[in-house]
Structure 1
Amino acid sequence: MIKVIWFDDQYKDLEQFKIRAENQGFDLEGYESAEEGIKVLEKKYQAFDLILLDGLFYKNKGQEKGTVSVEGIGNVIRKIHELRTKKIFPYFVLSGQDKFTKEENTFLKANSARCYDKKNPADLVKLFKDMKEEVKTLPDVQIKFRHAELLEICSDDLLGFDNYLRLFGLIKQIEENTKIEEGEKMLTEIRKIIEGLFENLGKLQIIPNEIIIEKGWVNKSSLFLAGKHNGYDYTDEIVPAIISYNIHKLLDIIQDGSHAYSDLKFNVDSYIKNSKSDYFFRSCVYLLFDLLLWFKEFIIENQDIEMNKNRWNLIDGEWITEEVTRIADNNYGTLKDGTTILPTFVLEYELKIGDKVDIIKKKNNKTHIDKIRRSI
């Protein structure tokens, strides 16, 4: 759909026109006053493709009925010119006033604008045709059309507009034919999008809220999705193994490359800057795209918070990490702190001296193990 911000003091009474516009592929978002619409346009300029203006509408929010004037359209056109450094907006004037549609209008002439007549069916057909033709000349809109399915995950009820801007910026980088140079900056944008994704999963309790508010919550969220968080028992798989694996690997790269932590294991940013190509960075972006498309459907299909919470249980007791220091001939093991490992655990996990394990000790006997798993 072509997104249009629409300024008209009577837009609420023009439902039939709005339906007709939708049938032509236009999604109209209406505002009665310049003040209201301009605030939205400034904040979400990247969300809109075109601007549709009545000739006369309110300048300010809450203005007395019947006090419409050309001040409203004048303010909007000034704002359109101010925004040109960020985005160029084609605009169209649609009015039912004779002073705009039948008489020579100095305001329209000064702004090189043509007015379409609300009352003339042929003019409405012409308006929709001209708007479609104008969209074909706008590179950003064409990018949006090509990646519409991907960008849907940034709707207001999912990842939101801030992440829309980040994702759209990544798409534009990928579509350019020049080598990508701002590796560190773009990896930071990927990290923020993943954080937004995890926050959304937290709202649905796909990831427990307790994890989202913890220090180091991003990596712990990744572990949880993989079914490897040692503070939880799982009654069902959270996400497929390939999805959790790709998230984990992507986080490793972007946290290193965006300097999210002081310990740089891979020196990713240096590698990107010294590389003769940008294939490595592009592969990270495409992996993000694939994950977002998968999670878009996953989130839509998992809106039931209670069902999501039934997939996991918070474990009573605290997991601690210990090292295996001894394995006896009878397969009893001993940890560094003296805790005994039963032969069943030693054999099941094929433990050897030097292995690290996560354990929860029995409440009534602190030298024996209640739960155990290999440390990640």
Structure 2
Amino acid sequence: MSKKYNVLWIDDQHESMKALHKTAIDFDVKFFPFKSMNGGCSEFKNNSTKYDAVLFDAKFFENETDQPGSEDTKWVHQAKDTIRDTDKSIAFFVLTGQAEAYNSKEFKNAFPKVFNKGVDKDEDDLFIMLVDACKNRELTKLKHKYFNPFEMCTDRYLGQKHFDRLHNLVLDIENPSQIKIAQDSLTGIRKIVEAIFSKLNDIGCIPNDIIQGKGSINGSGLFLSGRHRDYTHKQEIIHPVIAFNIFKILNVTQDGSHNEGSILGVDAYMDSNTNTFLYQSTVLLLLDTLDNLKAFIDSNNVKATNLAKWCKVEVINGQVIKIAENGWGTFKQAESNIEISIPPGMISASKLTLNQSIEVTTKLSPDKTKTFIKEIIGV
């Protein structure tokens, strides 16, 4: 999706106005047209953050299924009030061919500037003012500056409900002097990360057992960074830097959500600190993660392909069949001839002895040519 200006357009005759649609393209405006007050207002209520301005005809239907002849100018006033109740920052414009609208005092008070349909100069002036209003709207400027992160907070990716959370975080980055209690915003960051995990699970990049199990947040972070004891990566799941970002974000947000019993003491640290750099750096890590994940999800959304990139670690039963003088041991899998070396550190840490029965998990070398013992889990 390009960085266009999205304009909600309510006009019962929009389908016949192909020339206006073409003009809109020249001005980087994308219309989302409706025929009625209820159709347009319902869309705006459900997706208000999507739109940068609103364009009305002076007369249109109450409902999308209404028939010609039922148009009325009263619906434009109700539509404006309804939309303004949802977002007071949105700008309104009127493009109409109804001459009676210009003679109404009520209409002139509600819409000081009305543009004429079919008049080239008026239509050009409309688009110039429309684009200018969009460009100068603070929310629109932020949506363009942080385009990918805000796109991630739509229903196609993480869900629109996260838009306001991200907006508040971005406002803190844009105006750090206005940050009040930084640690109180960590929950919003964590909820966005949870939504990232849910989306990655949907496309097969995180196992169901982790998402549906206890400790799913920490488990998902461990899995993406290749640290989860129960799974191994056959291929890279996501870029290591993004996995690192997420791991560090969770270190701060998970710790900061506990006033007592935390490892790092993030809440107390932020409370006693005179700066907000830790909080800002965590938000910036989130923004970098969202920015990169949009392209990743767009290019890696085939679930079957992603599922093939990882597998559950198999627990192998066997026996210590040799311990050499240099400390290295040899593990032999039960009921097979497979033998795997045991590093001296594992021998001493688990206090292994010759002929001892153990359970291990394994991992492949980076080039997939050798198998190593990942962990001794049963002694």
The residue aligned with 1:235 is 234
Structure 1 segment 1-376 matched on structure 2, within 5 A = 1-83=4-86, 86-100=87-101, 103-259=102-258, 263-317=261-315, 331=327, 344-347=341-344, 350-351=345-346, 353-354=348-349, 367-371=357-361, 372-374=373-375
1:17 partner SS: helix
C-alpha spacing 1:242/1:35, structure 2 compared with 1 (3 Å): same
**Whole-Å Cα distance in 1 between the matches of residues 245 and 375 of structure 2?**
21
The residue aligned with 1:360 is none
C-alpha spacing 1:356/1:69, structure 2 compared with 1 (3 Å): farther
Runs of 4+ in 1 over 4 A off after TM superposition: 316-319, 327-333, 352-357
Q: Could you state the TM-score of these two structures normalised by the residue count of structure 1?
A: 0.83
**Whole-Å Cα distance in 1 between the matches of residues 300 and 37 of structure 2?**
40
**Whole-Å Cα distance in 1 between the matches of residues 260 and 215 of structure 2?**
13
In the TM superposition, residue 189 of structure 1 has moved relative to its aligned partner by 1.0
Paired amino acid for 1:243: I
The residue aligned with 2:368 is none
Kept in 1: contact 2:11–2:57 (CA 8 A): yes
1:344 partner SS: strand
The residue aligned with 1:323 is none
2:232 partner SS: strand
2:342 partner SS: helix
**Whole-Å Cα distance in 1 between the matches of residues 350 and 21 of structure 2?**
67
Any unmatched runs of 5+ in structure 2? Answer: 318-322, 330-338, 362-372
C-alpha spacing 1:62/1:331, structure 2 compared with 1 (3 Å): same
Deviating more after overlay: 304-313 vs 74-83: 74-83
Paired amino acid for 1:351: M
In the TM superposition, residue 152 of structure 1 has moved relative to its aligned partner by 2.6
**Whole-Å Cα distance in 2 between the matches of residues 356 and 153 of structure 1?**
50
C-alpha spacing 1:299/1:5, structure 2 compared with 1 (3 Å): same
In the TM superposition, residue 296 of structure 1 has moved relative to its aligned partner by 1.6
C-alpha spacing 1:70/1:354, structure 2 compared with 1 (3 Å): same
Paired amino acid for 2:358: H
Paired amino acid for 2:291: L
In the TM superposition, residue 356 of structure 1 has moved relative to its aligned partner by 11
In the TM superposition, residue 139 of structure 1 has moved relative to its aligned partner by 2.0
* Number of positions where the alignment pairs a residue of Structure 1 with one of Structure 2: 348
Offset from partner CA, 1:212-239 (integer Å, 9 cap, x none): 2222111111111112222223211212
Deviating more after overlay: 126-135 vs 262-271: 262-271
Q: CA RMSD in A?
A: 3.0
In the TM superposition, residue 69 of structure 1 has moved relative to its aligned partner by 0.7
Kept in 2: contact 1:206–1:308 (CA 8 A): yes
**Whole-Å Cα distance in 2 between the matches of residues 288 and 136 of structure 1?**
26
C-alpha spacing 1:231/1:203, structure 2 compared with 1 (3 Å): same
C-alpha spacing 1:296/1:355, structure 2 compared with 1 (3 Å): farther
Paired amino acid for 1:94: L
Any unmatched runs of 5+ in structure 1? Answer: 320-326, 334-341, 358-364
In the TM superposition, residue 171 of structure 1 has moved relative to its aligned partner by 0.9
In the TM superposition, residue 202 of structure 1 has moved relative to its aligned partner by 0.9
1:277 partner SS: coil
**Whole-Å Cα distance in 2 between the matches of residues 77 and 267 of structure 1?**
49
1:92 partner SS: strand
Kept in 1: contact 2:94–2:111 (CA 8 A): no
Deviating more after overlay: 58-67 vs 366-375: 366-375
C-alpha spacing 1:239/1:278, structure 2 compared with 1 (3 Å): same
Kept in 2: contact 1:59–1:71 (CA 8 A): no
**Whole-Å Cα distance in 2 between the matches of residues 356 and 17 of structure 1?**
79
